[in-house]
Amino acid sequence: MPNNKAAEFLPIVNFFAIKGKAVDIEPFGSGHINDTYRICTDLEEGPNYMLQRINNHVFKNVEHLMQNIALVCNHIKHKLIGQNEKDAEGKVLTPVPTKNGDLFFKDERNNYWRIFILIENTKSYDIVETIQQAREGGRAFGNFQAMLSDLNPLDVHEVIPNFLNIASRLRDFRDAINKNMASRVDEVRSEIDFIQERENKMNTILNMAAKSQIPLRITHNDTKFNNVLLNKEDKAQCVIDLDTVMPGYVAYDFGDAIRTIINSAAEDEADLDRIKLNIPLFEAYTKGYLETAHHFLYPMEIKSLVDGVLLLPYMQMIRFLTDYLNGDTYYKISHPTHNLQRTKAQMRLVIEIEKHEELLRDLVKREANVYL
Ligand code: A2G
């Protein structure tokens, strides 16, 4: 018997060219942006599917978003097939078209929907537990960038303009302070000061780019560790959440992955003293990343990696605080001060990373020397 969610979502699922009949639809995953459901079909051998309502407040041009995803997924799938990979479908997302051949469906309430084939027998982790997981995460994102390194970054739409551009994030932040929509500025003076004290230092990557020292690449731009699916043996299987695949700099992906991997606590940890750096996990991620990416990286890109490690938690802090100041309009929250709690956790992480900056730079140099 179909469950309640199935009854609610079946009319939408019916627009898509899935195999079999959807019998069970349940909420799935823990994303901050889209709503995700798992669809089980009546077919014993599968496949099952993932239904998503795309947040079109965040992704204003869904057509461009889906074109990017199709381009990237097809490109990777062809490469996997060319490498004689038997399980290409298990190693890259496969969007399922509608019965009209479109990549998404817009309902009468202006909700945008899409479906992917569900990649079974995998798991993801919010917090990295082992050296092997960290190394596999590095391999997964390095390989992802490597496979896209022969595509022209300008063939990919910038679905959220200036998404990881720190100058633009700082402008939005100042704007939020000036508007003070939720009357919260007084409560966060020390966090505002912390951000302002570091503005100049955090320009390194943009400065390198302005001097053409690092090239624009196609990057994932949301490399939280839980966006890598690992198999039963904890081997990386597939990189997911491709919404923010856009032109970017490799240090952004490295920095954002390290933001979640090096932190021994959750992104929104309330007990700040639990936020400690796990250096062996940093080393393992770096090893895995360079193993798969060293062949296409320029020396200046390798040099920029730790600048990304400093920048991404700082930028995430700014984004959470901006949302808090605006009255929580962007990220899903689970309690009224959630964005503030996230801000403080990211701030503590920046402090910890700053204390260890030289060590992190030495470790990247050491790992990169293996390939000289
Ligand atoms: O939350 C979301 O996944 C964000 N994605 C990502 O950029 C980052 O802020 C993350 C923090 O957990 C989008 O904004 C599209």
ipTM of the complex: 0.99
Torsion from C-alpha of 119, 120, 122, 123, nearest 10 degrees: 90
In the predicted model, what is the mean pLDDT of residues 47-53? 97
Question: Residue whose CA is closest, atom 9 of ligand 1?
Answer: 316
* pLDDT per residue as tens digits for the range 324-349: 999 999 999 999 999 999 999 999 99
Question: Residue whose CA is closest, atom 7 of ligand 1?
Answer: 222
Residue 3: per-residue pLDDT = 56
Q: Is 342 in the pocket of ligand 1 (CB under 6 A)?
A: no
pLDDT of 302 above 90? yes
- CA 55 to ligand 1: nearest atom: 15
- CA 256 to ligand 1: nearest atom: 8
* pLDDT per residue as tens digits for the range 62-89: 999 999 999 999 999 999 999 999 889 8
Q: Which of 203, 69, 221, 53 is nearest to 141 (CA)?
A: 221
In the predicted model, what is the mean pLDDT of residues 307-325? 98
> How many C-beta atoms lie closer than 10 Å to residue 183's C-beta?
9
pLDDT of 1 above 80? no
Please provide the size of the chain in residues: 372
* pLDDT per residue as tens digits for the range 164-197: 999 999 999 999 999 999 999 999 999 999 999 9
- Rounded to whole angstroms, the Cα distance separating 297 from 279 reads 23
In the predicted model, what is the mean pLDDT of residues 306-311? 98
pTM above 0.80, yes or no: yes
Q: Is 266 in the pocket of ligand 1 (CB under 6 A)?
A: no
The rounded Å distance from CA 206 to ligand 1 centre is 20
> How many C-beta atoms lie closer than 10 Å to residue 175's C-beta?
13
pLDDT of 142 above 70? yes
pLDDT of 128 above 90? yes
Question: Residue whose CA is closest, atom 6 of ligand 1?
Answer: 222
Name the residue type at position 299: P
Mutate to test the pocket of ligand 1, among 33, 169, 323 (most ligand atoms within 8 A of CB): 33
Measure CA 160 to chain center: 13
In the predicted model, what is the mean pLDDT of residues 90-101? 97
How crowded is the C-beta side of 262, counted as CA atoms within 13 Å?
Answer: 27
Structure-token pair, residue 269:
């940890």
Sequential DSSP letters for 281-292: HHHHHHHHHHHH
